[in-house]
Structures are given as C-alpha cells and as structure tokens.
Amino acid sequence: MAVEALIEKLKEQVGVERPPRVYEVEKGMIWRFAQALGDSNPLWQDGKYAAKSSYGDIVAPPTFALVLGFEQVVQALAAEPSVTVLHGSTDLETYLTIKPGDTITVTARIANARERPGKMGNMLFVTFDMSYHNQKQEAVARCRQMAIIY
C-alpha cells in the first residue's frame, strides 16, 4: 500500500469507532511502566509505602492510561513500512486513579485527518480520540493524540 492509499484509508475512517479493547491492570504492569519512565515515586512501586497512603495499595501514574490501547493507534498507522510516522501531540485528561485489579475498557476513533502538502509529498495529520472506562463504567481518562504521516 502506497502512502497515498494509506492516507485515503485513514481519511475514510474518520468518525469510525474501533472495537473496544479491555485491559486487566495488575501490579507488574504498573511497576514496569514506572521503571520504564525512571519514575521512583513509591506510590507506584513500593507496596508497603503505598499501603499506608489513602489509596491503600500501589496506583498507576496518571500517564499510564496512554499505554492502554495504544496498539490501536499503531495498527492504524503502521500498515505500510515505507510510511514515516511522527508524534504530533498528546492531550491527556485523567479523572480517576487506575489501580491494580481495575479492568479498563478503551475505545478509540479517528477524530480528524487533514492532508497538507509538504516538501517530501503529502502529509496527513491524524487525530485520535481515546476514552478509558473502568469496570464500573466510570470515566477514568480521555486522550487526544495527533500523528503526522508522510
């Protein structure tokens, strides 16, 4: 698939909600995420410390939601090896703390796809909206990410 064909395919998917993905959050996921960030906050790494907090156990860093469902964005954009994908922006709103034992359902959709001419050909600015709900159907977070494709 050529870059132009991928651009057309993504433009056709604007507004289409992808099937929800469900994630069971466990302590190891949170710990590995914090380690990858180099974030040593004991609320997400030290069970004994976190047990004494108002949370009663470790919790996920606020940005943890970004890794849940991200493969949906990657799958939508990585259909062609010759395509270059750049991160444009991320806006994240968090409402509730994610904890071990939570089941998070993520829904994603392409909110917008704008094509612009560039020095190396046409570029596409794709905006993804993602929503995150826990097992109680409570909104946990909302995210809007933009990728630049050429």
Task: Report domain extents, the chain.
Answer: 3-24+64-149
Contact (CB, 8 A) for 113 and 125? yes
Query: pLDDT tens-digit profile of 119-146?
Result: 877 788 999 999 999 999 999 999 999 9
**90 — pLDDT class (breaks 50, 70, 90):** very high
* DSSP state for residue 149 in the 8-state scheme: E
- Rounded to 5 degrees, φ, ψ at 72 are -65, -40
* CA–CA distance, 108 with 147 (Å, rounded to integer): 14
Number of alpha helices (DSSP H) and beta strands (DSSP E) in the chain: 4, 5
pLDDT at 1: 47
pLDDT reading at 72 higher than 90: no
Q: Please report, as a single letter, which amino acid is at residue 45.
A: Q
pLDDT reading at 79 higher than 70: no
Residue 87: exposed, middle, or buried by beta-carbon count in 10 A (0-12, 13-18, 19+)? exposed
CATH of 3-24+64-149, one of 3.30.390.30, 3.30.43.10, 3.10.129.10, 3.30.499.10: 3.10.129.10
**57 — pLDDT class (breaks 50, 70, 90):** very high
pLDDT at 124: 85
Contacts of residue 14, Cβ cutoff 8 Å, sequence gap at least 6: 110, 111, 112, 113
